[in-house]
Amino acid sequence: MPENYENILVEKTSAIAVLTINRADKLNALNSGVHREGVAALAELAVDETVRVLVIKGAGEKAFVAGADISEFAAATAAEQRDVMLSRSLFTVLDSFPKPVIAMINGFCLGGGNELAMACDLRICSDKSRFAQPEINLGIICGGGGTQRLTRLIGETRAMQLILTGEMIDAATALDYGLVNAVHAPEELEARTMELANKIAEKAPIALRYSKEAVKLASRSNLDEGLRREIDLFALCFATEDKREGVAAFLEKRKPEFKGR
């Protein structure tokens, strides 16, 4: 893992990797450097067999990510902006990342920040977090999946309200809407998130990967296609050593040790 990132940090503890967006003075706004370095780090983490779960967080006490770096919007051409979003954005790469990803949200989660969180699989936040899609206030619309993922996650009624007004909601409302999985006190956020990450990291990596793929299909295919693909992925699990280990461990009344094979 290269150590010379300027905009992110990547740390590994046992089976968990933590990617920190490291621009606290700009409330971790997503500039092109964060996207470039984040995409490079994700490519390495995807194939690193020691890593089973990824946690993404923002540096500092105030924000997860306060959106796209608005200062870069001033000079960007339409063609450049389209190219970045289509091929080299963190949103795109996270969407097909093969391991579970948890967004740990400890403050402002706005615009591209909320889109980044929604491209993750689980969202755990502190009770001081605030969520919004404020793009409308800049005369633009969401470009990192906001109109699509927010609508799928919380429904058209609520998504339309948030996207058309740009208003912020608090953590309790985000939980009520189903935008986040859990809300914790700020001082407990890290411990509770790592607890969840470790719990998932003990599961069979290939089954986790297929589970992600199948769940994501639910909002991207029709029911018959989704059910059919689920059966294919279920059957593929029967080709793994981990399936043999899981079943044997159950029958022998012991804890399974999954190897990702």
Q: Which residues are catalytic?
A: 115, 135
* H or E element that contains 193: helix 186-201
53-58 and 16-21 as β-strands: parallel, antiparallel, unpaired?
parallel
DSSP assigned state of 204: -
Query: Residue 137 CB, nearest distance to ligand COA (Å)?
Result: 6
Choose between 56 and 206: whose C-beta lies nearer to ligand COA.
56
Applying CB under 6 A, does 68 fall inside the site for ligand COA?
Answer: yes
Least CB distance to ligand COA at residue 114 (A): 9
The span from the CA of 222 to the CA of 205, in Å, is 26
How many Å apart are CA 41 and CA 44, to the nearest integer?
5
Does residue 60 belong to the site contacting ligand COA (CB under 6 A)? Answer: no
Binding residues for ligand COA restricted to 109-148, rule: CB under 6 A: 110-112, 134-135, 138
- At closest approach, how far in Å is the CB of 144 from ligand COA? 9
Of 69, 115, 121, 242, the one binding ligand COA (CB under 6 A) is 69
> Amino acid identity, residue 64?
F
Contact segment (CB under 6 A) with ligand COA among 11-19, 21-29, 77-85, 243-251 equals 21-29
Cα–Cα distances (Å) from 244 to 50, 135, 230, 252, 256, in that order, read 21, 49, 19, 12, 10
Please tell me the distance from the alpha carbon of residue 73 to that of residue 122, in angstroms, as a whole number: 29
Amino acid at 67: G
146: which 2 tokens?
Answer: 């906001």
Nearest distance in Å: CB 142, ligand COA: 8
- Binders of ligand COA among 71-110, rule CB under 6 A? 71, 108, 110
Per CB under 6 A, 35 contacts ligand COA: no
* Residues in Cβ contact with 215 at an 8 Å cutoff, skipping those fewer than 6 apart: none
- Considering only 39, 40, 46, 70, the residue that binds ligand COA (CB under 6 A) is 70
For the bound state, the minimum distance from the C-beta of residue 82 to ligand COA, rounded and expressed in Å, comes to 16
Q: Which residues lie near ligand COA (CB under 6 A)?
A: 26-27, 29, 66-71, 108, 110-112, 134-135, 138
